Structures are given as structure tokens and as C-alpha cells.
Structure 1
Amino acid sequence: MESGEDYSLFETRKDKGRHIRRIYAISLFVAICFIWAYRLSHIPAYGKWAWLGLFAAELWSGFYWLFGQALRWNMLFRKTFINRLSERYENSLPRVDMFVFTADPIIEPPMMVINTVLSVMAYDYPAEKLSVYLSDDAGSDITFYALLEASTFAKHWVPFCKRFKVEPRSPAAYFNTLVSTNSHDHNHAKDLDAIKKLYVDMKRRIEDAVKLGGVPSEARSKHNGFSQWDSYYSRHDHDTILQILLHERNPHNSKDVDGFVLPTLVYMAREKRPQYHHNYKAGAINSLVELHGADGYGGPLFIGTCCFHRRDALCGKKFNCQYKNEWNDENEKEVVKANLHELEVESKALASCSYEENTLWGKEIGAIYGCLVEDVITGLWIHSQGWKSIYYNPPRKAFFGIAPTNLLHTLVQQKRWGEGDFQILFTEYSPTWYGEGKINLGLLMGYWRFNYSATTCLPILYYSFIPSLYLLKAIPLWFIPFAYVILGESSSTLIEGLISGGTIKGWWNDLRMWLYIRTSAYLFALIDIVWKFFGRSYSSFAVTTKIVEDDDVSQRYKNEVMEFGTSSPFFTVLATLALLHLFCLLATIKELVLCKVALTGEKMALQVLLCGFLVLINFPIYQGLFLRKDKGRLPSSHTIKSTTLALSACIFFKIWN
């Protein structure tokens, strides 16, 4: 227990299998050291440079593996006692601000966004102490219209959730889980039918507006908030748009149908001008903060959403031993003494482009600017101020998100993350020097694992094609410790996945994506970084779609068929590598069967197994190239281009001496 045996809010325990995990990790490291020693002591006369290249790849992969082991060395697990929270603090719970971000009403549909907002508004928390902010980076009047509709629907949905203890509290998710509307409770069935009808009507109005590409004039005339779009030029050039839709200071429009106060609800689109950099999501985070705003080593990294921050930590306050939890909200009460109109006017100034000029915002206050992954760099900065974070994964998932639904969008997203993480190393906030002496070495290694992720494309790519190509000349490159390291690491990730509730199929798909990301997304991330050093590239923030575009794509997605369907350099790299492995394996089998050439002992056998494994894991690509006829297949141009490149590489290597 942390403190107070009977009334602790949570307990922390260490991983029960940590000793076995550590012994196993040490044995793998010993095997890795054997591999390094073997490479240096058995350099062949023929193929020396390929051999040394493998040593370099294995050397870097070994160090990167060590970074990952730091995150597994001192694992902690937590259990909370939520019922004790109200017992201890009763009515003195702190105010909580919930931030929801959206950037494009097309690829992040308004219905999806407001379902998130409604689920947050229905939290089991005192409504008068809960504020929900929607930051719309597109400044879309359709998204505002959707939130306006949601504010009306919330007056029915929030009391319905509390009355019947509804789970999950996202309307779309809840209605999808219902088998039928039959209920032994007549009142529940009646209320359920009524709330479902309200939701369907709201959904129809919002989706009609999306299809029309604008808000109906009748709806515009009913709310003066739409007048803020009169000066709207484009999503990249507009004034601050801010509207407080629900607030306790407006008693006529802040209560639900049962007469209870609803959480505060605010829409905001920060000002954007072509001459000002808007700093991506970090700028949106800071605008909201200004408005109101790896456990075992001191806490996990901040990598996106699904997290809670103390306002003091985000606002630049350093942690010290004398810090106390002060949940007194007298200061907040002072803020809201002004009427809502005055509060909106004052708040708009905080979200303007010029407000942060020559201030510490983005440097020592709020989310840190200057990086594609503002979350990771902000988390590092917070850790360096002495704050600690904890990781908690409750049995009932606290957050649900929607990931990209096709391969291209996944790779685009991973490219941005890989590029942004590596970019941190060349800023003043690099963990190597900024975190030195401020955070634990184990946590530093955890940051390095993310920072150097893009560089793993080089050893993985080298290991992907050099052993396969050397099969064409029957030259062995492996020995037994290689098999132990690869099988050992693969089995440990499988066991971790199964313990976490995953499946063997899920593990296999994760392994496939691990390979695809490192041989394509990270490769182009690294290329962009190099080009940027020469001033030839500009980092951009790519928003990935979270929806399935049409019925055919949706059906393939449900059937777990990989979606290609378009041309991309990512696919050219993946298809070329996949075909190279296939050609090398077929050529080796031909030599073994037709020419009756024997394998050179166990070393060549392991090499053939690696090539066979790579062929097996690339089966969806072969389907997309040759077997599928649907629109989700790889374009014919990719088939021709990749086949030509792979065959050329094999022929050139075969005849090259």
C-alpha cells in the first residue's frame, strides 16, 4: 500500500515474474554478445563487407533491444479503490477539464467526434466540476453545428446514463451493444426508445449537413454563434471562433431535463493566419490550457491521448518535496464571476495568434512547440521538471479510440511518429542532454527507444535482403545463437501478448505490421529527416482518416483483408522486398531439388528458414499483387515495377563477383 492502509486510493505491486523475465533477458544479451564476438572473429575472405554490414546491423539492433529491456526491467501494476475517493474527499473533488481534438470533418466525422464528447459529459463525476472543450483545428461550422446538437441531446443523455448506469456512455457504442429493446423494466424500455429516437433524429440532421457541405439556413438563424463564420476565409485563415454552449452561469441553458446542472461545454477554433505557424496539435492544447485549464522509473511517456495532467504540471510549475495537493477551487470561482459574454470575449484573446508572441508558451509553459510529436517532447519536459507519471490500465477500458483502417494511412501515421521522435534528438529538449541528471537512466533509455525508432529501418532492411540474396550463392551468414535470439525474442513477445489478453493471430499480425512499418514508414521518415538537414524538406502534420470509405472497403475490413487500392512509394518498397524474398527462396529450392545441392550444415538451414519466414509473413502482399481482383488490390503498375526491381537485384547479385 502507498499510505494509510485502510483508505489508500490505490496500491502498487511489482511484476511477479520479474526475476524470470530478468534472467531470460540476461541470457538473450549473452547470446547477442556471442553474435557480436562471432562476427568480429570469423570475418570471411569472400563477402567480407556484407559480413561487416551484418555486424553493424546486429550491433545497433542489440543496443536498441537494450533500450526496450529498460522498459521491461522494473514493471509495476496498480489497482485503484475508486469507492474510497468520495469517502475521503466528499465534496472537495478537483475540477477536471477534458480536451477533445478534431482536425478535419471529412476524415474525422462530426458524429464520431460528438459521441466522444457525449461520453465524456456523462462521466460519473460531479457535473459542476467537469468542463469539456472541443478544439476544432478545421474551424468547421458543421462541427460546431454537431456540437450544438449534442448540447441539446446531452440534456436527455446524461440523466439517462446516470439513471440506468449505462455502459458504455458513448451513444453509438451503447446502442450498438443492445441486443434488443426488450426490458423487464417498463420505464427503462420506454426511456430507451425515447432516447434512441432522439439520437437517430440528431444523427440524421448532422449527417444531412455533412452531405450538403453546410449548415441549413434555418439552423443558422437559431443561434448567433454562426455569425462568427462571417469573417471566415479558410481553415488556415480565420478569427478565433469560441462559443460557450453550456455553463452554470447560464441557468436557463445549463440544466438537464431532470433539473441538474450539466458539465460546461465549450467550442473553440483558435485563430489562424498564414504568417503565423499554428504549431499543430500543441498549439491547440496550449489554447485550451490558457482558456482554463515507464512507471518504475518515474512514469510512462506521454504518447498522445487517453491521459490526465495536473494543470500545474502543464503550466510550467516545477515539482518539489513541499508540493501539496490543493484541490481548493476558489480561484476558479473567481474566474467565472464575469458574465458569459465577457468571458467569451476575454477567452478569444487567449486563442489569438499574437497572444503567445514573446512569451514562454510552447517553451516553458504548456505543450512544447517545434516538433511533430508534441506529446512525447511535452512529456519529457514535464518529467524533467520533477513530475512523475503513472500508467493504469483498468479491467474495463477507460478510453477507446479509432485507428486508421487501411495500410497506407497506418504507414503515413507511423512515418510522422518516427520522424517526430527522431527529430527530438536534435532539439534543445533531447533526452541525451536535457534529461541528464533530471530523470532516471531507465526512463532515459525508454525515451531513446522511441527517439531512435526510425533508425531501426536500416538494420531491418539490411537483414531483410542480404541473407536472402546470399542464398543465391549458397553462402552461410548465421550460426546457432542467432536462432536462440530470434526465437527467444519472438516467443517472449508472444507470451506477453497472450498474458495481456491477445491472441496468436493478433501477435502474428502485429509482427507483420512491425516489419512493414520498419521497412517502409521508418525508411521514408529517415529520408525526410536527411532531406530536412539539407533544407530540401518540410515536416508536415498528416491527419489520418478514421472511417471506412465505402461498403466494399468496409466488407474487406471486416473480413480482415489488407487494403491497398492505391499507388504509394510505401507499397513499392514492401512489394519489392516481398518479391525478392520469394525469388531467392524459389531459386534455393530449385538448387536443392533439381540440382541436388546440399545445404552447408545448420548455418544455411537457418538462412533458408529466415527467408521462408519472410515469404510467409508477406503473403498478403502476394495476394495483392497476383491473386486478388477487387479494388483493394495493388495496382498493376506496382506489380510491374516491383517485379522488375526484385528480379534485377537478384540477377545483378548472382552475376556480380
Structure 2
Amino acid sequence: MESRLFATEKFGGRAVYRFHAVTVFLGICLVLYYRVTHVPGSGAGRAAWLGMLAAELWFAFYWVITQSVRWSPIRRRTFKDRLAARYGERLPCVDIFVCTADPKSEPPSLVIATVLSVMAYNYPSEKLSVYLSDDGGSILTFYALWEASTFAKHWLPFCKRYNIQPRSPAAYFSESDKPHDLHVLKEWSFIKGLYEEMTERIDSAAMSGEIPEQIRVNHKGFAEWNTGITSKDHQPIVQILIDGKDKNAVDSEANVLPTLVYMAREKRPQYPHNFKAGAMNALIRVSSVISNSPIIMNVDCDMYSNNSDSIRDALCFFLDEANGHKIGFVQYPQNYNNMTKNNIYGNSLNVINQMELNGIDSVGGTLYIGTGCFHRREILCGRWFTQDYKEDWDRGTRGKTQQCIDQTEEEAKSLATCTYEQNTQWGNEIGLKYGCPVEDVITGLAIHCRGWKSVYINPPRAAFIGVGPTTLAQTILQHKRWSEGNFSIFLSKYCPFFFGHGKITLRHQMGYLIYGLWAPNSLPTLYYVIIPSLGLLKGTLLFPEV
């Protein structure tokens, strides 16, 4: 046990919850019994009564489905000290994917704050490669990343010298007070000044929509936009802004910087681009010729890293000698820092984050929710689990050092073209799956059906923090996408009961079904809140008199 890198613990209070669940089950049975034995004779009251019975039968069924994961939730705890003692700096390389799509809805200054936060992990910089996928193909986003590559030379040593948290400069400077130590205050003020000047330049460029000509000469990558390209019609662009293998790519203290890459895959009106799944698959291919790390982490551009040890926590699962070879991906929850005090729309996802994902973890593996997730590269490339599987953790350290940057960029561009995936299994057996609005969930299901397990970790200090919906319109839009996407999975060939039959457990299938039935769950809910109110107006009683 001392050699284990992580522990699995049962939730406390299981007996109390199970007793509570039994009483709820008895209550459900009594309600249904009353409905069946007291049906009115005829008329509108009878129809309304039977409708209430149908809604309550649905609620009973859905409640039983939820118990599949709420009956025995677990939590995971990692031992980073053991990881350090066993591996030291002999840790695997990690590729980090950050995805953005529109500089208007996702401002470049927001995107680069996330990029800087993941560049500053408490992890050997020479083993980190950060890729920004810009599906908008915007020169503004490229310019912001170019600015960030310069600021990182001061930001990363500052973070590691004082072990600050969080390591998103936007979040850090908005949350932290001025230090009292005069020496620290001087450096703090200097770094803050650099950051504010950088964001002012980026925001000014974003407002004007143009990059000054004197800036364009500072990097060859700006020449990619000389042809008047648009967000939906442009050539593939791959630019290595920081080459981690270059001995001259160092910060202000002569320490190696992480590799930093900008990618905008080719887009043409006549070719489908498959949204985020297409961007992720292009990143998988492009990164394979630049860093090819065995671990891939992806995060949305509005979810900055809030915990500098998240990589080490995730590696405690992958490198565990007893069960690490079974684990395909490690999922962190989504957390938001802009929720209102009353959270009237329930967007904090407390039930999902604190209970349901822990419960699904106990029955076969948590869902892949599209952000804050660490994958083995090989499982994203379609590999099936076998008991004799052994990972090559040295992959990524044997790079193409003899090849110059220009050659590497050209090779990478050829992998990000519109036609590359034609007549291949990309989007089907390889990479993230296409054809569904929630490509993350369906991809995670396919990984589980190939025999891999996954784990869910929710550390005391949140690993990632982002911006959640706060208005009714934003909430409806987000839930519409989630519910429609999951329901489309339920109605497709990837329905967990059919696609997962014989591959994952029944309780695991039921866990996926909780989200697959979000959309139809709205119909009995609407009936239950509307019909009794109308019944009161007409004097039709649909509940027993007290």
C-alpha cells in the first residue's frame, strides 16, 4: 500500500443515504399506488389524473436511474510526495491543448491568460508543450499569443520563485493584495506593469481590428495573413513561437521555456470542419510531429489553471504501478468563479461535481466532459486496452532535433489540411468522434467501451476555474446544447444500452443515461408544474385533500 500513488476512499454517510433512499422508494410506491387506486371516473379530471400518473412513473424511473451512481460514490486522493520520490524529474512529457474559436466572444486577452496559466505549471518546462488552436484563424489571437510568448519570460520565473496561486495573471492580479515586503513589492509592481501594458496593447489591437505594421515585422508568422484570409476560408497555419528544444529559448533567469505553438487548421467552405472535435483531432496530428508527448491535456480557453500541481496529481494515476495501466483519462470538474450569491439558475453544477461524477467513477469511470482532462495519446488514437499494455513514457523526449523549425512547421501544416482526413478513420475510430454536439461525451463512452477506465479527481483547490453562464438566456443556450447533444446520443447507435452492451457494466450504462435523458425529462416536468395549477382554477383536485 505504501507504494501506491493514489487512494480510493468511500464517501462517509453511505448508510444514512441508503436509508434515506429506501424511504424515498417507499414514498414513490405509495404515491403510485394512490394514483392507480383513485382514478376519477370520467371527463377532463380523469385525463389530467392519468397524465399525472404518467409523469410520476417517469420521475420514478429517472430517480432509479440516478441511484446507479448515487448509491456508492467514491473520492480519489493522490500522493505527490511519493511521485516525486519515485520519479524525481524523470516524468513524462505533456502536451497541453487550448482551444478558441472566435476573438469576439473569446477576447484574446482572456485566451492568453489561460495559456500563461498552463505554461506556468509546477512541472519541468522542457517537458511541457502548449498548443493554441484558433478555429477563427484570427491575426488578433496570433498577435496576443506572440505578446504572451515575450511576457512568459518574466511571468514564469516570478510564479515559481514565489509559488503563487493562481498562475493566470488576470486572476492573480485581480485577487491578490500588494505584498508587504518591499523587495517583493518592487518585482510584483514590475510584473503587473508589464502585464497591464501587454493587455492594453492586445485590447487596443482587438478594438481596432488591425495589427500595426511595425509589429508585423517582428515575427514571420504575421505574413500568413497577407492574403486577406477569413475565419471560414484560410490555409493551414502552424507557427512555433517558442521552441523548447532551442537552447536560446529561455526566460529572464536562463531557464528553459515550454514549447509554445499556434495552430489554425485549414478551413474551406466546401469542407465540413466538425467544430471542436475537428480542431482537437488536428491538434493531435500536429503535436505528433512537434512534441509527441504520451499525455495530452485539453482545456477550454476560458478555463484557466488554478492549481499548479494538477499535472502531478493526474500523473499519480497514470504512473501507479498497480492500476495505472488501466486508466485511459483523468477528469477534473468544471468550476466557475462568477456565480451569483443565490445561483438562481443552478449553474454551479454542485450535484454533478460533488456527487454524480464521483458516483460514475465508482461504476467504471467518469465521463469525459471536454475540458480539464488528461488523456493518454494512444487512446485518443483508437488503442484498445489489453492487460499487457505498457506505455512508452519516454515518447516526446526523442524529438526531431535535427530538423529546423521551418521544416517542422511545413510538415505540421500538411496534417492540418481539410483533405487530410478524407478516406481515413479520423472522427470515427481515431481521435474525437464527429457527428454529435457533445463530442466529448461520446468519445469518452467509446474509450470506456474499448476497455479503458477513467478516474475523477476533485482536489480541495480547484484545478480549473472558468466563466459560467449568469443570465437566463446564457443558461438556456448552454443547457439546450447539453441536453440536445446527450439526447441525440441516446437516440443514435451510440446509445449506452446498445453501444455499451457487454462492454461496460449496467450501472455504468445507467450513469450515462442520466444525461441522455435530460431533454425528455423536461416534458413531464412541464406537465407537472402546469396542469395542477390549471386544475386548481377549474376546481379539479389532482392531489389528496389534507
TM-score normalized by the length of structure 2: 0.84
Distance 1:40 1:308 in 2: 50
The answer to whether 1:18 aligns with 2:84 is no
CA displacement 1:442-495 (0-9 Å, x = unmatched): 11111111111100111011011000011112322124xxxxxxxxxxxxxxxx
Given residue 371 of structure 2, which amino acid in structure 1 is its aligned partner?
Answer: T
8 Å CA contact 1:362–1:369 kept in 2: the answer is yes
- Asked whether 1:405 is paired with 2:402, we answer no
SS in 2 for 1:77: strand
2:112 maps to which of 98, 111, 114:
114
The letter of the residue matching 2:406 is H
Q: How does 1:437-586 map to 2 (within 5 A)?
A: 437-479=502-544
CA contact (8 A) 1:249 1:339 kept: no
Task: Calculate the aligned-residue CA RMSD, in Å.
Answer: 1.4
Aligned pairs for 1:357-436 within 5 A: 357-436=422-501
Task: Report the alpha carbon displacement of residue 66 of structure 1 after superposing the two structures with TM.
Answer: 1.6
| Pairing 1:243–2:309 present | no
Query: Who is 1:96 aligned against?
Result: 94
Counterparts of 2:10 and 2:442, CA distance in 1: 28
Pairwise CA distance, 1:276: 1.0
- Distance (whole Å) between structure 2 residues aligned to residue 50 and residue 202 of structure 1: 63
One-letter code of the match for 2:272? H
Which of the numbers 233, 257, 260 marks the counterpart of 2:255?
260
Structure 1 stretch 39-48 or stretch 443-452: which is displaced more?
Answer: 39-48
* Alpha-carbon separation, structure 2, partners of 1:55 and 1:335: 67
Distance 2:381 2:439 in 1: 15
Matched residue type, 1:120: V
Q: Does 1:221 find its partner at 2:217?
A: yes
Q: Which residue of 2 aligns with 1:83?
A: 81
Match of 1:9 in 2: 5
Contact 2:384 2:450 in 1 (8 A): yes
- Structure that is richer in strand per residue: 2
- SS at the partner of 2:261? strand
Structure 1 match to 2:303 = none
Q: Which residue of 1 aligns with 2:128?
A: 130
Which of residues 44, 51, 54 is equivalent to 1:53? 51
- Residues in 2 aligned to 1:460 and 1:454: alpha-carbon distance in whole angstroms: 11
In 2, the alpha carbon distance for the partners of 1:341 and 1:29 equals 66
Cα offset, 1:223, TM superposition = 1.4
C-alpha contact (below 8 Å) 2:131/2:262 kept by paired residues = yes
Contact 2:126-2:245 at 8 Å conserved across structures: no
Q: 1:505 maps to which residue?
A: none
**SS of alignment partner, residue 425 of structure 1:** helix
Q: Is the 8 A contact 1:373 1:417 kept in 2?
A: yes
Alignment partner for residue 317 of structure 1, among 359, 366, 383?
383
Deviation at 1:34, TM superposition (A): 2.2
SS in 2 for 1:394: coil
CA distance in 2, matches of 1:405, 1:235: 28
Task: Give the match for residue 334 of structure 2.
Answer: none
CA contact (8 A) 2:100 2:134 kept: yes
Equivalent residue letter for 1:183: H
Candidates 172, 191, 197, aligned match of 2:187: 191
Alignment deviations for residues 346-384 of structure 1 (CA, whole Å, 9 cap, x no partner): 111111111111111110111000000011111101111
- The DSSP-based 3-state class of the residue aligned with 1:367 is coil
CA shift for structure 1 position 196: 0.9
* Cα distance between partner residues in 2 of 1:420 and 1:391: 22
2:305 counterpart of 1:308: no
1:131 Cα offset (Å):
0.8
Letter in 2 for 1:429: Y
Tell me, what secondary structure is at the counterpart of 2:28? helix
- 2:346 alignment counterpart: none
User: In the alignment, which residue of structure 1 is the partner of 2:172?
Assistant: 174
After alignment, is 365-374 or 240-249 more displaced? 240-249
| Counterpart residue type for residue 326 of structure 1 | D
Q: Distance in 2 between matches of 1:440 and 1:177?
A: 45
Equivalent residue, structure 2, for 1:521: none
What is the aligned partner in structure 1 of residue 139 from structure 2? 141
Deviations 1:4-27 (A, max 9, x none): x22321111111211221221122
- Deviates further, 403-412 or 457-466: 403-412
CA contact (8 A) 1:336 1:343 kept: no
8 Å CA contact 1:239–1:271 kept in 2: the answer is yes
Q: Distance in 1 between matches of 2:400 and 2:64?
A: 49
SS in 2 for 1:195: helix
CA contact under 8 A between 1:92 and 1:327: conserved in structure 2? Answer: no
C-alpha distance in structure 1 between counterparts of 2:469 and 2:209, whole Å: 24
Mapped to 1, the partners of 2:166 and 2:29 lie a distance apart of 50
Residue 522 of structure 1 is matched in structure 2 by none
State the Cα distance separating 1:332 from its structure 2 match. Answer: 4.8
User: Do the aligned partners of 2:442 and 2:494 also contact (CA within 8 Å) in 1?
Assistant: yes
What SS is found at the alignment partner of 2:239? strand
Amino acid across the alignment from 2:166:
P
1:385-423 Cα deviation digits (max 9, x unpaired): 111111111111111011133221221121111111111
CA shift for structure 1 position 249: 3.2
Aligned to 1:250, the other structure's residue is in SS state coil
Structure 1: how far apart are the matches of 2:411 and 2:145?
22
User: Which residue pairs with 1:280 in the alignment?
Assistant: 275
Equivalence for 2:413: 348
**TM-aligned CA deviation for residue 162 of structure 1:** 0.7
1:33 equivalent among 26, 29, 40: 29
Any gaps of 5 or more consecutive residues in structure 1? 480-600, 603-657
The secondary structure found in structure 2 opposite 1:173 is helix
Pairwise CA distance, 1:303: 1.4
1:296 corresponds to 2:362: yes
Are the equivalent residues in 2 in contact too, given 1:13–1:78 (CA < 8 A)? yes
> Which residue of structure 1 aligns with residue 301 of structure 2?
none
d(CA) in 2 for partners of 1:88, 1:325: 17
The superposition leaves residues 232-276 of structure 1 with CA deviations (integer Å, 9 ceiling, x where unpaired) of 432111111111111123333x21111111111111111111111
1:576-620 deviation digits (Å, cap 9, x = unpaired): xxxxxxxxxxxxxxxxxxxxxxxxx31xxxxxxxxxxxxxxxxxx
Higher RCO, 1 vs 2 (CA within 8 Å, ≥6 residues apart): 2
The answer to whether the aligner puts 1:271 opposite 2:266 as a matched pair is yes
Give the superposition deviation at 1:123. Answer: 0.2
SS in structure 2 at match of 1:179 = coil
Counterparts of 2:445 and 2:60, CA distance in 1: 24
Give the distance between the partners of 1:464 and 1:232, measured in 2 at CA.
54
Q: Tell me how far 1:31 sits from its aligned partner.
A: 1.6
Comparing 413-422 with 41-50, greater Cα deviation is found at 41-50
CA–CA distance in 1 between the matches of 2:504 and 2:171?
40
Contact 1:96/1:131, CA 8 A, preserved across alignment: yes
Q: Match for residue 345 of structure 2?
A: none
CA offset at residue 183 of structure 1?
2.2
1:336 deviation in Å?
4.6
Work out the CA distance in 1 between the residues paired with 2:484 and 2:419. Answer: 29
Residues 110 and 143 of structure 1 are in contact (CA less than 8 Å); yes or no, is this contact kept in structure 2? yes
Aligned 8 A contact 2:149 2:241 in 1 = yes
- Counterpart of 1:67 (choices 50, 65, 68) is 65
Other-structure match for 1:559: none
Structure 1 position 161, deviation (Å): 0.6
TM-score by length of structure 1 reads: 0.70
Deviations 1:537-561 (A, max 9, x none): xxxxxxxxxxxxxxxxxxxxxxxxx
